[in-house]
Copies of this chain bind each other. A is one copy, B any other.
Amino acid sequence: VHNETSTGVTSRVADVRAALGDHDALLLVDTISSLASIDFRHDEWGVDVTVGGSQKGLMLPAGLSFNAVSAKAVEASKRARLPRSYWDWTPIIAANQAGYWPYTSATNLLYGLREALAMLREEGLENVFARHARHAAATRAAVRGWGLEVLALDERELSGSLTAVMLDGSDAVRRLILERFDMSLGAGLGRLQDRVFRIGHLGHFNDLMLAGTLAGVQMGLKLAGHDVGDGVGAALEHLAG
């Protein structure tokens, strides 16, 4: 998983590839919440299968998913013995070569994708990645300003697309923020339930949306009785820096 959505931790995919050495295993990467938000290099990093989706960094509704596959993965797929039909790449690759799709296409999402790609190219992918990294850094400045801690520990693995914040009793805060400010924060999952909340900052998102987001979190924390500092001020200082 390139960007782990429940924790806000990214994987160092190139290092994983290096660690694999000449092992025969395929390297499969889920980029659902990183594609078009955090730099990712399918070919350069030697990934065998990359899975992406339309509903995060590509700024579209859910409904399109993408696979990038290496020759080695295609070979392995041909030898695989798990029965499959819709997930089978063979008819898709054959149809793609003629510019088609073997099943009913989500045509209107393809029009949306064309526009999303035009927007990304207009801003420039490097700038898109830098914008996400900057928003993540401003969010972490807010977290420090509140006197709270980010879940991710390793500086090299901090997510550009979302930030998980440690807070016991986070579910009550999330509920209050939803009711009072109409903003939905991500919940902690599994053993992190009620112990973290998650702030998303990806896709079609700018400085003032982030400022509004962090203001909602700060007001919600205070209203829920948490004695937090001025995270918003710290974030604004970062954003204006």
Task: Give Cα distance in the complex from A236 to B218, angstroms.
Answer: 9
- Check B215 against A61 for contact (C-beta < 8 Å): no
13 contacts between A and B (CB under 8 A): A55-B104, A62-B105, A63-B106, A181-B208, A182-B208, A210-B212, A211-B215, A211-B232, A212-B212, A212-B213, A215-B236, A222-B240, A230-B233
Identical chains in the assembly: 4
Query: For the complex, is A20 an interface residue (Cβ under 8 Å from B)?
Result: no
Chain B residue contacts of A239, Cβ below 8 A: 219
Chain B residue contacts of A222, Cβ below 8 A: 240
Chain B residue contacts of A213, Cβ below 8 A: 208, 212
Chain B residue contacts of A61, Cβ below 8 A: 63, 106-109
Q: Encode contact with B along A12-56: 1 for CB under 8 Å, 0 otherwise.
A: 000000000000000000000000000000000000000001010
